Amino acid sequence: MTQTITEKIFSSHVGRDVYAGEIIECNIDMVIGNDITTPISIKAFEESGAKELANPDGFSIVMDHFIPAKDIASANQAKISRDFAYKHNLKHFFDEKDMGIEHALLPEKGLVVPGDVIIGADSHTCTHGALGAFATGMGSTDLSYAMITGRNWFKVPEAIKVIFSGKPGKHLYGKDLILEVIRQIGVDGALYKTLEFTGSAIAHLSMDDRFSLCNMAIEAGAKNGIIAVDDTTREFLKDKNLAREPKLFYSDEDANYVRTIEIDVEKLEPIIAYPHLPSNGKPISKAVNDNIEIDQVFIGSCTNGRLEDLRIAAKILKGKKVAKKTRLIITPATQKIALQASKEGLVDIFVEAGAVFSNPTCGACLGGYMGILGEGEKCVATTNRNFVGRMGDRSSEIYLANSAVAAASAVAGKIVDPRE
């Protein structure tokens, strides 16, 4: 029988052909925890009586949500992970000395590899599917099971094939493509399914775009998002000290899909997801006509905090000033990205424009710190969620957008079309 790329990845880990709907147990190549979720996993691990990690080189803890600690509670929470990492001499422990948002940092480090099975106690673990790997979020106790055994249980997901055709126009990015998919199928349209992204438009997407695209597969309810390895992927990987030998898998031409979605990207405008769901997507032209004044702009997160996003924003902001009544916060996804942005003079552009340039953190995205919204405030964000109260007060509003829309809107003080 023919197989999808996701079925082939699982088959390689199980040692036999498996297909959608089967319940399997398989080895995990990389288990990812963070400062919020890992303490629960550590507690379950220790209560089980386990003394050693089953696969210590396949376990990473990334301190990214509330680091540096924002208060006593987050400091004590972080201490649990630190103590565990030092006790077990954890090789892949990333704290303030070498920090970044987990879903940007691990690809940068070469710790997630094509053909891998990857789990993380963070819903946006599906980001790593951009490298041709199966990657999905799980609960903290699921993580502890993998810490103890090196394995986990899965139901092999059915697949939806998304075919993007054409060449993206000016200021149309991976973020817009996934917002259009979610707009079409809704926040549960791919529930426990693979979103497999294909088509001629993929060749025009950078790796940063692809990470953004796969990152938000979960916002459609998907188990994972995935893109097959091509020359762009290989170029991204060539300077990495990869943790494992890549395994390349490609879907058979006649593989079984429960649905096929075709999108001509040349017909798309940049998409704005209005409050309070990622599926509430509108074309930028409607947002401009709605004359939406904004209090804050946030550029960052595991969705759009990469170097390409900062370059896009800097090009728009150069020589301009952030609007008087608008705040602009820019958060690089990793320290390496921050250093490169500094070397290229991007940080100078941001600060001179009136922006705050912060350390790498998830903080503002989840309403943790570094950009909390007040009562009734409106924010354009390059993040992945705009639920009620996501970034602060429950009466605040979040409009999801790409980095170009965000930067241009910061200057205008309202949502504008960066193409004009």
Do 91 and 119 reside in the same domain of the chain? yes
Do 180 and 325 reside in the same domain of the chain? no
Do 177 and 311 reside in the same domain of the chain? no
Rounded distance between C-alpha atoms, residue 255 and residue 232, angstroms: 24
Rounded distance between C-alpha atoms, residue 385 and residue 366, angstroms: 8
Do 313 and 350 reside in the same domain of the chain? yes
By residue range, what is the domain housing residue 191? 5-263
Q: Cis before residue 68, ω within 30 degrees of 0? A: yes
Q: What is the pLDDT of residue 342?
A: 97
Task: Note the pLDDT tens digit of each residue in 238-266.
Answer: 999 999 999 999 999 999 999 999 999 99
For residue 225, the SS3 value is strand
- The tens place of each residue's pLDDT in the chain, 420 residues long, gives 899 999 999 999 999 999 999 999 999 999 999 999 999 999 999 999 999 999 999 999 999 999 999 999 999 999 999 999 999 999 999 998 899 999 999 999 999 999 999 999 999 999 999 999 999 999 999 999 999 999 999 999 999 999 999 999 999 999 999 999 999 999 999 999 999 999 999 999 999 999 999 999 999 999 999 999 999 999 999 999 999 999 999 999 999 999 999 999 999 999 999 999 999 999 999 999 999 999 999 999 999 999 999 999 999 999 999 999 999 999 999 999 999 999 999 999 999 999 999 999 999 999 999 999 999 999 999 999 999 999 999 999 999 999 999 999 999 999 999 998
Q: What is the pLDDT of residue 162?
A: 98
What are the tokens at 130?
A: 């951009």
Q: Does 417 reside within a domain?
A: no
Q: Does 419 reside within a domain?
A: no
- Specify the pTM: 0.94
Do 195 and 92 reside in the same domain of the chain? yes
Show which of 195, 228, 263 is a domain's final residue: 263
Do 291 and 220 reside in the same domain of the chain? no
Show which of 241, 263, 285 is a domain's final residue: 263
Show which of 220, 245, 263 is a domain's final residue: 263
Do 202 and 341 reside in the same domain of the chain? no
Q: What single letter denotes the amino acid at residue 192?
A: Y
Rounded distance between C-alpha atoms, residue 334 and residue 67, angstroms: 12
Do 119 and 213 reside in the same domain of the chain? yes
Q: Does 303 reside within a domain?
A: yes
Do 356 and 246 reside in the same domain of the chain? no
Do 206 and 340 reside in the same domain of the chain? no
Do 238 and 338 reside in the same domain of the chain? no
Q: What is the pLDDT of residue 11?
A: 98
SS3 per-residue string spanning 271-321: EEECCCCCCCEEEHHHHHHHCCECCEEEECHHHHCCHHHHHHHHHHHCCCC
Query: How many domains does the chain fold into?
Result: 2
DSSP state letters, 48-80? TT--S-SSGGGEEEE--SS-S-SSHHHHHHHHH
Q: Does 77 reside within a domain?
A: yes
CB 134 within 8 A of CB 128: no
Q: What is the pLDDT of residue 293?
A: 98
Do 255 and 279 reside in the same domain of the chain? no
CATH number of 307's domain: 3.30.499.10
